[in-house]
A and B are shown apart, each in its own frame.
Chain A
């Protein structure tokens, strides 16, 4: 089998073996329903509460602030829907580079009588103080700005979000799915009301995430039923995944600094060479995640390059995985005012714990060759 190079950690990560270890008993052995009162049920309950503490510890929140969901998408839908319902016909505010699972629910609320206002990002992909000032709406129920962008890796200034929410007396929310595990996240110091986390981006299992909601915030549930998760999220708990998520949180807290330094080294090597080859690196001038590089070559078709690199065993992404089904240029780059043709060619590399310098060197070599081939083809065509 051909060697594989996985450079798409912002899409999903491979489960850590230690995480799998704690999950296995919950997959293989007799398990109870955590709501049941017999000993099977009580064991399941204890396991969930331990995981809740592990999640809380990793982000400096209180365990009672952790609401388990089926993933980041659900958590984002939950806060948008849940905050909106509490305040009929209010305005929902978000940046114009939010992930679709924040953007789309807001648009859905728009059809039901709510208003939406957008915070424009600068050409570097960040929401500036001026952008907040441009929002004139008064009756704001929720403002959501992602902590780190999944495509560019650009990190947003949370104090601006907090100040704005305070001024408008609105709930503040940040989608921290990409940031968590890559930078220090202190929920208690950010002074944000709600935050979204996802497990499968931090070497935990898929199918689980959390909404962190501070105790002062009151929202309506998205899924009604048996009243699990303090009535905010009904449905039998996904124990194996929750336990795995808890362990992944514990492990990521331990390894984050080392991984961050390591991926930063890889990124520096990568970017030096990319630039030498003539690439444009997006959000280069602002603080970005240490593992993410979003780039494009002028006049080079991104999808052709992507397919060619995949054949050689390099798994990279064009924009975000969730929207890779359609061929539209990245909405993030368009929001930054990047030329449409350049945006269409954008590729993302996101490193993880296990990537090595050798892999990066191999990638650069492969890329150089592909670029040469493509340029020759273009030359012939011309």
Chain B
């Protein structure tokens, strides 16, 4: 294994998953080795220690987003949280109506939860965002119908990092009495979240995008006004009946610690990361035919999604194997389809194919960024030298007007 470590590439894929912060690991380990116990075992003290730790972690998660700990339900991760929120609330309030609303650039697990509800007889609207990735408030308002029961919009997009105006969207939902769910998996530790102020009913969280362990997440379920959801997983009645199943104490503890660190360090960390991101952006923008995907202003400091025109995406990923980055979202990169998020922004298939998502994080250094700029410049040059499309562009041919043989 040591051999592998020596040649590990530079990690710029923090939006796929973050490493566990060493401080988080340190806090988790005693709960795997010593304080084991089933937190639901009320009959002996092994169980009590576990329960205390779980409640302390719940406090920490709640604090980061200014919520009441009683509003936090543990889950196995954001995918489950999103499934639980969307299906759970839509089912519970189905007497109100069977129309549900979301945005076409949501994470796959939101889209797929909607598709499942469609199979159950619900009608869904997938709103297209503006070319900058943001949702137009007027269009959102117009998409709401009298029978709309739930709307789901992600706080921060996983591919392009744009931040939606959750407060304004939430206010629209409040006016129209629509349950509002927000997937905040990519937002925690990156943007301020104040659920006392934000008109949000349900919010999904993930630990492993915020330097916590994989396999644990949470769902915020508002108490005032009280939001009800139908459980998706039934059993021992854990988590006040909303989510059954034995809780992994060490993972919960890890999530709590990760969110505590995020709360304390967020401000400074974001400043540092923004500087690195801007440096990367300026370095890459030196090149011709480089396009930033998504709005730059309403965007987290950590994300840079760029298309390199006339370079094919997969060969680009191969060319930059000394850095670990994503083309499109990690969850769909096994397929050869261009990113549906970029297509929704109106990007051509070619530009969508040649996009790279750089996501910077806690352990990224300035030297990492310098290396990345150098590497990209070198490889983009090489690949464009290889590219017949680049030649055509240089010859002044408009590639979109060329008639390509059907293939």
Contacts and interface: CB of A to CB of B under 8 A. Distances in A.
B113 interface: yes
Contact of B247 (A72, A74, A207): A207
Q: Chain B at the A interface: mostly helix, strand, loop or mixed? A: loop
Contact of A15 (B32, B112, B332): B32
Given A73-B236, A206-B250, A11 B80 contact: no
Contact of B11 (A15, A30, A236): A30
Given A101-B235, A321-B40, A225 B45 contact: no
A235 B8 contact: no
Given A235-B80, A239-B214, A310-B44, A225 B234 contact: no
A105 B231 CA distance: 9
Interface in A17-37: 17, 20, 23-25, 27-33, 35-37
A27 B28 contact: yes
Nearest to B91: A112
A200 interface: yes
A100 B43 contact: no
Contact of B80 (A17, A223, A239, A322): A223
B290 interface: no
Contacts of B80: 70, 223, 235
B233 A74 contact: yes
A235 B4 contact: no
What range describes how many residues of A lie at the interface? 35 or more
Contacts of B237: 100, 104, 322-323, 325
B115 A224 contact: yes
B214 A35 contact: no
A8 B46 contact: yes
A222 B232 contact: yes
Given A33-B330, A39-B8, A101 B245 contact: yes
Interface stretch (B58-66, B168-176, B321-329, B371-379): B321-329
A314 B46 CA distance: 10
Contacts of B83: 222-225
A96 B78 CA distance: 34
**Residue of A43, A303, A322 with most partner-chain B CB within 10 A:** A322
B42 A325 contact: yes
Contacts of B36: 12-15
A42 B216 CA distance: 21
Contacts of B238: 322
A333 to B, nearest CB: 16
B164 interface: no
A99 B193 CA distance: 39
A315 B44 contact: yes
A239 B41 CA distance: 26
B256 interface: no
B269 to A, nearest CB: 17
A36 B215 contact: no
Contacts of B44: 8, 306, 310, 314-317
Interface string A61-85: 0000000001111101100000000
Closest 4 CB pairs of A and B: A238-B215, A225-B109, A207-B248, A322-B236
30 contacts: A6-B46, A11-B41, A12-B36, A14-B33, A15-B33, A38-B324, A40-B13, A73-B236, A73-B245, A100-B235, A108-B231, A205-B32, A206-B246, A207-B216, A207-B248, A223-B83, A225-B107, A225-B113, A226-B79, A235-B79, A235-B109, A237-B214, A238-B215, A306-B44, A310-B43, A310-B44, A315-B41, A315-B43, A321-B41, A322-B246
Given A20-B32, A324-B42, 4 more contacts: A77-B233, A208-B215, A237-B215, A241-B215
